[in-house]
Structure 1
Amino acid sequence: MRRLLAGILVAGLILLTGCGRRELIQTPNLYANGRIDPFKDCPPSARNNRVDVLYATDRLPVESKGAGQEYGFLRSPSLAYGICRVEIGEDVPWSVLAENSRTDDRDLSLPLSVRGVDEVGRFPGTPIPFIRRGGELVEDPAVLARKAQAEDAFRALVAKRLTQTPRKEAFVFVHGYNNDFEDSVLVMAELWHFLGRTGLPIVYSWPAGRGGFRGYTYDRESGEFTILHLKEFLGLLGSCPGLERVHFLAHSRGTDVLISAVRELIIEARAAGKSPREILKIADLTLAAPDLDLEVFTQRMVGERLGQGMGGVTLYVSDEDKALGLSTWLFSGLQRVGRVTFEDLNPELRKRLEQNHGAAVIDARVRSGFIGHSYFYSNPAVSSDLILMMRYGRAPGAENGRPLVPVGPNFWEIDKGYPYRNRD
């Protein structure tokens, strides 16, 4: 009977996550009253209804149906990169889009659509083959040369995009379980729009989204598969001249993928006597609805001092997250980070959290659909906080212009009226 109930729940969650036409997310509360202009620093070239998202993916390409290159859920041994063109609204003038992005009472529909995907380059497949030289096995120099050429081409693409924005920063999104390529790109396009259309919007799309009853286990294994590619991509991004800071945002299973890659890079940097912050340029790392075992996360982040390799770490959690409730059941009741409350933390964890001044846990006391797993961008209160942190660099606390409700040391709550308490 328990298996039957679990199967019904899984089927319901799968069906509910992929239905209907995507519309631009609700205007963040921060902008809805018109007091703040999100597009004050938006360059003229970005004042339109288009968003060009730079992507990197190790999804296997599939036959195109007319919108340029397409990618499925199968794995590719090589990492590709390119530009995905997203349109907000149908032939909507900039003035109309900007006006409707500053109100919670829009007078028109703003559907999201992918208008084209251009694969610009592709790295050699991994692992790189070996040849024997002087009695030793070494990586094939010819393949390494092709890899270096692809890296130079990527740096040139980033440099070109940076000339078009006043902020020499990148916003990198790593999606979660059961997301296809288009899902991740649309989320990044929406967020970048409300981040003020400055900096570079980048998506790292790993081979998830198989679906079905075994889709979760497939996605978990694909998350392991992609770590080598993600490591190389993050290292390459950090090496781009002119790029000053990188803001990382990961969701659901993508939090495990990102943390694993960053962990290995930080360990490698320390072993080489180098500064992880200087190499990776991580301004902040945000984990939204993290599908991570709490004890494993504690060992990685706290035990290995990963927070010292970046500017700050923020977690968005909600005990109303039904997707993570299912994950908890699948893992025999082990506590998922994304559903943790302050009461769940033992005295030692509370002490550790208090000592880590760059860390913050935000308990989202808001409603966000039936499943409640996408609140980090779909809920206007939580998206407001994300913007205050990633765009404006505000630390938690009313004294910093980020009026979260304090629950305990570095543990905060957010409600539906945030950041304006008197909002209906």
Structure 2
Amino acid sequence: MLIATTRTRSTVPGEMFNGERALAPAFADMTISIPPNKLRKKGQVAWPKRLPSNPATDFATVKANDLNIDEAKKWLSTSVKKAPDGSVLVFIHGFNNRFEDAVYRFAQIVHDSGVHSAPVLVTWPSRGSLLAYGYDRESTNYTRNALETLFQYLAKDPEVKEVSILAHSMGNWLALESLRQMAIRNGRLPEKFKNVMLAAPDVDVDVFRQQIADMGKQHPQFTLFVSRDDKALAFSRRVWGDVSRLGAIDPEQAPYKKELEDNKIMVIDLTKIKSGDSMNHGKFAESPEIVQLIGQRISDGQTLTDSHVGLGDQILVATSGAATAAGNVAGLVLAAPVAVVDQDTRDNYATHVGTLAGSSSAQPATTNCDQTRPTPSCKR
């Protein structure tokens, strides 16, 4: 992976970058070895139990080379040519992440998703401490110009055909602010910026509303991953004056439902997904099915809600086997804990429920459009 960072280079042996702020961006080329699948569950990072790491059982850094900016551009050019669709995946980590946390998590996501894009990790100065929330937040603002510069380069590079952005937690603030800044500066966002995936965004929902407006009508396909049991975002909400955080909203409630629909933002509700994370803040990366499906969509060069076969349809296919075995509608509900909020998936879900219920026509039922939760066939 290519590392682009505003962290300071560390003087500690064995540590490449620390959590302090550098005067200028730095770059590196890193290769991470991942143990065989039989020794690790997808969605998990096999942290080294001792140093040096054992590549047979643990994630291990096998190459870590500093690059200057020209070398970084050469790395990107070479890697993009290897990607079947000339695509780049940019990952921006969240709050409380040491450098190695961000590197290994991104390695896990790229490996488990099967994505073939050139992987670029943007890592900003986080001190890796729960008590450094304020410092981390200001570090995202400190990194905003550097990330926009990277985005501008990707937009102008003719070899880069498509850009997808994946941000987690506080990293969403950095991603959204840099995209907003770029849109204001250029008058629009580039068409090659296809997908922006917002995982558990620690962003004020009111501010997000304005950020989207500032980006203009032509913006990438946004996919929002929410979980109402996210304890980290519940804490953040208290810190920020009890204003809802974007990653913890109920997408079925007003005013969010209409606003999301108007902006064509796809929402994947992970509230019912069980997580090994006690804070329920990292479900996106820890859910093997979700990571794999998104990787497939990026690799296919399609948006997550492309045509009539969206990510939600793939989730239905992945979960409907258990429902068929149960032989009833309840089985489908239990087998599909991920709620996908986009119109095509709603239609297909309703049809599938009708089939399991023994409907002769297998058509979605209609309802009054004045009801709080209209069915898919109630077109507005």
Which TM-score applies when normalising by structure 2?
Answer: 0.73
Say whether 1:286 aligns with 2:197. Answer: yes
Question: Would you say 1:309 and 2:219 are equivalent positions?
Answer: yes
Alignment partner, residue 240 of structure 2? 331
- Which whole-Å CA distance do the structure 1 matches of 2:215 and 2:296 have between them? 26
Any idea what the Cα deviations from partners look like across 1:38-60, whole Å, max 9, x if unmatched?
xxxxxxxxxxxxxxx11100101
Shift of residue 326 of structure 1?
0.9
CA apart distance, 1:266: 0.8
Q: 1:111 to 1:163 in 2, by over 3 A?
A: same
SS in 1 for 2:190: helix
SS at structure 2 position matched to 1:292: coil
Amino acid at match of 2:65: D
**Aligned residues between the structures:** 308
The gaps in structure 2 that reach 5 residues or longer are 44-54, 317-337, 347-355, 357-380
1:114 to 58, 61, 84: 61
Q: Sort the Cα spacing of 1:102 and 1:328 in 2 relative to 1 into closer, same or farther, 3 A.
A: closer
Give the equivalent residue in structure 1 for 2:298.
390
SS of structure 1 residue aligned to 2:138: helix
Q: Distance in 2 between matches of 1:345 and 1:307?
A: 22
Aligned partner of 2:169 in structure 1 is 252
Partner of 1:156: 74
Instruction: Please give the alpha-carbon distance, in whole angstroms, between the structure 2 residues aligned to 1:259 and 1:196.
Output: 25
Matched AA of 2:284: F
Matches within 5 A, 1:368-383: 368-369=275-276, 370-383=278-291
2:147 match:
230
Q: Percentage identity across aligned positions?
A: 26
Pair 376,170 (structure 1): closer, same or farther in 2 beyond 3 Å: same
Taking a change above 3 Å as real, the CA distance of residues 291 and 120 of structure 1, as seen in their structure-2 partners, is: same
Contact 2:115 2:296 in 1 (8 A): no
* Structure 1 ranges of 4+ moved more than 6 A: 98-104
Aligned-residue offset at 1:408: 7.0
Aligned pair partner of 1:220 in 137, 140, 145: 137
Deviations for 1:341-384, whole angstroms, at most 9, x for unmatched residues? 134432xx433322333x20111020112111111111223324
- Structure 1 partner of 2:179: 262
| CA drift at 1:235 | 1.1
- Deviation for aligned residue 1:287: 0.5
Q: Is the 8 A contact 1:210 1:218 kept in 2?
A: no
| Residue segments in structure 1 that go unaligned for 5+ positions in a row | 1-52, 90-96, 122-149, 413-421
2:24 is equivalent to residue 78 of structure 1: yes
Higher relative contact order (Cα pairs below 8 Å, separated by 6+ residues): 1
Equivalent position of 2:364 in the other structure:
none
Output the amino acid matched with 1:375: K
Taking the aligned partners of 2:342 and 2:81, their CA distance within structure 1 comes to 43
Matched residue type, 1:181: F
Alignment match of 2:208 (pick from 290, 297, 309): 297
1:351 aligns with 2:261: no
Q: Which amino acid aligns with 2:258?
A: K
1:239 has 2:174 as partner: no
| 8 A contact 1:85–1:114 mirrored in 2 | yes
Evaluate the alpha carbon distance shift between residue 405 and residue 362 of structure 1 in structure 2; reply closer, same or farther with a 3 A threshold.
Answer: closer
Cα deviation, residue 110, structure 1? 4.2
How large is the RMSD of aligned CA atoms in angstroms? 2.9
CA distance in 2: counterparts of 1:56 and 1:284, whole angstroms = 20
Q: Is the 8 A contact 1:289 1:373 kept in 2?
A: yes
Distance in 2 separating the partners of 1:109 and 1:317: 35
Counterpart amino acid of 2:13? K
- Report whether the alignment pairs 1:61 with 2:61: no
* Contact 1:342–1:411 (Cα < 8 Å) also in 2: no
* 2: CA distance, partners of 1:350 / 1:405: 13
